[in-house]
């Protein structure tokens, strides 16, 4: 019998193929959101989430001096629910609507079709690269965007660093293995000592690439970046790689192209990267406090005022999923990034 020739690919390349391969990548062939999908996001839980983000955008625009032109850019818009609900809110503020241009950065042609259908009555543009944003100011919105990007993993054993790689075989018996690596090359490239006080590293080259582009746009044209994602603020990085299939955890080496592969964001690492890129972390807070500070409960009271008990209960049940610590309240963090001279702090 012929021996099966085996080779190795880095973890981020494996995840990239599983999620973004044009023919059978997870995000390229299906809508992963909702009860029939594998996970549900905040905009699908309650329209109040999108309303709050829209109000925050208007407040930030006002703090910039109400510029005559501003770009609102959503990164990875899923089925388009957040942008759709936000534009509905913006339409009540004519002065803001006249100045704003709505952009969606989306890699998946499949999801793009869903987004375009949903927003057919609105003026929205789709971009294939963040480099296509040519002017500003810009408000970049990343709701559960960075957790969907491929990552590299490194582990220290007996003072030697190894990179996690996937051992490939013809019969698709994939295996995760540790291969000795030289971290100096990567650290020199990004200008950050990833190893500092760490025994384990999760790093996304894609996240770094996008943050680099965004930092140039913000420093040149003004504006900011709002990141909403599940993650942790502790300095010590951990192995948080996970796969979700039909709302349940699964082995990421199985159901390839059919399950979501994701990880928890190290907000401390994001902070270090952004500081290196000459941006200011204007605030970081959990989702619960962010939404409450921006008045989600007061908005709910107004909406619920003349409703039947069952309809009122539904509104508060949904809000509870967004803010309760047993659900998304503390697991999700909100980070606001802007130029060093910006003083805007609403929500933080």
Q: Per-domain residue ranges for the chain? A: 42-150+203-338
* Residues, the chain: 348
Given this model, what pLDDT does residue 94 score?
Answer: 94
Given this model, what pLDDT does residue 244 score?
Answer: 82
Of the candidates 198, 224, 244, 248, the one whose C-alpha atom is nearest the C-alpha of residue 334 is 224
Q: Please tell me the pTM assigned to this model.
A: 0.93
Given this model, what pLDDT does residue 28 score?
Answer: 85
Long-range contacts of 39-43 (CB under 8 A, 24+ apart): 39/244, 39/247, 39/260, 41/78, 41/81, 41/82, 41/143, 41/144, 42/143, 42/144, 42/228, 42/287, 42/322, 42/328, 42/332, 43/78, 43/81, 43/82, 43/85, 43/143
Given this model, what pLDDT does residue 251 score?
Answer: 86
pLDDT-based confidence at residue 242 (cuts at 50, 70, 90) = very high
Question: Mean pLDDT, to the nearest integer, of 106-131?
Answer: 95
Given this model, what pLDDT does residue 259 score?
Answer: 85
Question: Mean pLDDT, to the nearest integer, of 82-109?
Answer: 96
The better pLDDT of the pair 64, 2 is held by: 64
Given this model, what pLDDT does residue 35 score?
Answer: 56
pLDDT-based confidence at residue 2 (cuts at 50, 70, 90) = very low
Rounded Cα–Cα distance for residues 261 and 256 (Å): 9
pLDDT-based confidence at residue 4 (cuts at 50, 70, 90) = very low
Question: Mean pLDDT, to the nearest integer, of 98-118?
Answer: 95
Question: Mean pLDDT, to the nearest integer, of 141-154?
Answer: 97
Question: Mean pLDDT, to the nearest integer, of 221-241?
Answer: 97
Percent with pLDDT over 70 in the chain: 95
pLDDT-based confidence at residue 1 (cuts at 50, 70, 90) = very low
- Evaluate if residue 181 carries a pLDDT over 60: yes
pLDDT-based confidence at residue 168 (cuts at 50, 70, 90) = confident
Q: What is the dihedral of CA 124, 128, 130, 135, to 10 degrees?
A: -50
Given this model, what pLDDT does residue 40 score?
Answer: 78
Sign of torsion, CA 322 328 332 333? positive
Given this model, what pLDDT does residue 62 score?
Answer: 97
Fold topology of 42-150+203-338: Rossmann fold (3.40.50)
């Amino acid at each position: 019998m012929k021996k099966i020739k085996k080779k190795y690919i880095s973890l981020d390349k494996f995840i990239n193929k599983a999620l973004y391969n044009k023919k059978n990548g997870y995000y390229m062939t299906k809508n992963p959101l909702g009860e029939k999908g594998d996970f549900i996001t905040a905009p699908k839980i309650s329209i109040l989430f999108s309303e709050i983000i829209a109000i925050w955008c208007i407040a930030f625009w006002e703090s910039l001096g109400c510029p005559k032109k501003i770009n609102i850019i959503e990164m990875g818009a899923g089925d388009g629910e957040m942008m759709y609900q936000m534009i509905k809110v913006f339409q009540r503020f004519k002065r803001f609507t006249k100045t704003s241009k709505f952009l969606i950065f989306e890699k998946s042609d499949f999801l793009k079709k869903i987004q375009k259908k949903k927003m057919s009555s609105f003026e929205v543009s789709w971009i294939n690269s963040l480099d296509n944003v040519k002017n500003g100011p810009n408000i970049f919105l990343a709701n559960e965007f960075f957790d969907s990007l491929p990552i590299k993993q490194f582990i220290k054993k007996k003072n030697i660093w190894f990179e996690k790689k996937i051992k490939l075989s013809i019969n698709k018996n994939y295996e995760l293995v540790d291969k000795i690596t030289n971290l100096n090359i990567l650290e020199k490239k990004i200008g950050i000592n990833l190893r500092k006080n760490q025994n384990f590293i999760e790093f996304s080259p894609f996240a770094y690439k996008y943050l680099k582009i965004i930092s140039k746009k913000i420093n040149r044209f003004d504006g900011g970046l709002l990141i909403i994602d599940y993650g942790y603020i502790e300095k010590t990085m951990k192995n948080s790689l996970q796969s979700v299939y039909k709302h349940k955890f699964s082995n990421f080496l199985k159901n390839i192209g059919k399950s979501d592969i994701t990880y928890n964001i190290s907000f401390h690492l994001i902070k270090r990267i952004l500081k290196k890129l000459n941006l200011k972390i204007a605030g970081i807070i959990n989702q619960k406090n962010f939404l409450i500070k921006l008045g989600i409960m007061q908005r709910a009271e107004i909406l619920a005022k003349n409703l039947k008990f069952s309809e009122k209960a539904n509104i508060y049940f949904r809000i509870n999923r967004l803010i309760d610590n047993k659900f998304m309240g503390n697991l999700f963090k909100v980070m606001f990034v802007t130029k060093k001279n910006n003083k805007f702090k609403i929500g933080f």
